[in-house]
Amino acid sequence: MRHYLSELDLTADEFRGILQRGSELRKQWEAGTLTATLPHRVLGMIFEKSSTRTRVSFEAGMTQLGGHAIYLSPDNTQLGRGEPLADTAKVLSQMVDAVTIRTFSQESVERFAEVSTIPVINALTDLLHPCQLLADMQTYLDHRGDISGKKVAWIGDGNNVCNSYINTAKLLGFQLYVACPDGFEPDAEVLEEAGDAVIRTTEAAEACADADLIVTDVWASMGQEQEQKSRELAFAAYEVTPELMGLASEDALFMHCLPAHRGEEVAAEVIDGPQSVVWEEAGNRLHAQKALLEFLLNEQH
């Protein structure tokens, strides 16, 4: 039994295998030839933060593969009335086949997985967003082929998605430049673990020069809403503009996990422009996560 709490829970071969299968599932979906590979399987989905893409892609994905998903929020479960996550994990283990959790601390997800007897998937914590990286890497693969050896620029906040890019740079062997202001660096342990796969700078232009992929995310993540104004000041020099895109390689792609704030972390001309693949990226959440569910539920580990 395996969990997916971090990109580093997979080997590079396993990660690449899921991307290949995700691409295959996308083609099958487009051709209308999907088969029910998860019949009668049930996914429990605990969301302690808002979500559009993650919730819909997991729920639609389970249905498309012949299974079912149950959305569980603190508002309408006993979690909101103080039932411990560990007790919830033991109970859900008796009833469903896998659980996804979106919450605040990575430790909560880890504690849940420790007592769970079914696979647990991290659907975003303050530390990591590993499902997003499956979709992003599948999108790069579909458009440009293998990402190993390429230059990727992360511009803006050293947040959960940034930490996940750092893990993935180490896993898949691409060179990641992280351009963020002082005081908004990625997690120190994650950074340390990645070694020379990651170069940290405060200069967005240095990160973008000749890059093959430019990525950004909101300046204030969920839970940081009260810092929105101070962060707008701190990140003013980190908007991905057409000028920054112009420094990158000619066929560079632009990605953003969404939701986006046009005129803050990204200019409208960039996110709605020809180098942006954000809609395919969002769409691939569906296919990549179906491949992940098949990996966790159908393969012997």
Which residues in this chain contact ligand CP in the complex, by CB under 6 A? 51-54, 124, 132, 257-258
45, 72, 128, 161: which one binds ligand NVA (CB under 6 A)? 161
Q: Is the bond into 119 cis (omega within 30 degrees of 0)?
A: no
Q: Work out which of 34, 86, 205, 222 binds ligand NVA, going by CB under 6 A.
A: 222
Minimum CB distance to ligand NVA, residue 105 (Å): 13
Active-site annotation, residues: 102, 129, 132, 217, 257, 285
Nearer Cβ to ligand CP (34/258): 258
Which of 129, 189, 178 lies closest to 154, judged by CA? 178
Q: What is the DSSP letter of 86?
A: H
How far is residue 73's CA from residue 103's CA, in Å, rounded to a whole number? 10
- Which string of DSSP letters, residue by residue, matches 72-107? E-GGGSGGGGT--HHHHHHHHHTT-SEEEEE-S-HH
User: What SS3 class is residue 175?
Assistant: strand
Stretch of 35-43, 104-112, 185-193, 216-224 contacting ligand NVA, by CB under 6 A: 216-224
261, 218 contact by CB (below 8 A): yes
CA torsion sign for 112, 40, 21, 275 is negative
The span of 56-64, 157-165, 168-176, 195-203 binding ligand NVA (CB under 6 A) equals: 157-165
Q: Using the rule CB under 6 A, is 127 a contact of ligand NVA?
A: no
Window contacting ligand NVA (CB under 6 A); options: 9-17, 101-109, 154-162, 187-195: 154-162
Measured from the CB atom, is 96 or 134 closer to ligand CP?
134
Q: What are the distances in angstroms from CA 89 to CA 59, 79, 293?
A: 19, 11, 18
Which token pair is 21?
């299968």
If contact means CB under 5 to 8 A according to the sort of partner, which of ligand NVA, ligand CP, none does residue 52 touch? ligand CP
Binder among 218, 266, 292, 293 for ligand NVA (CB under 6 A): 218
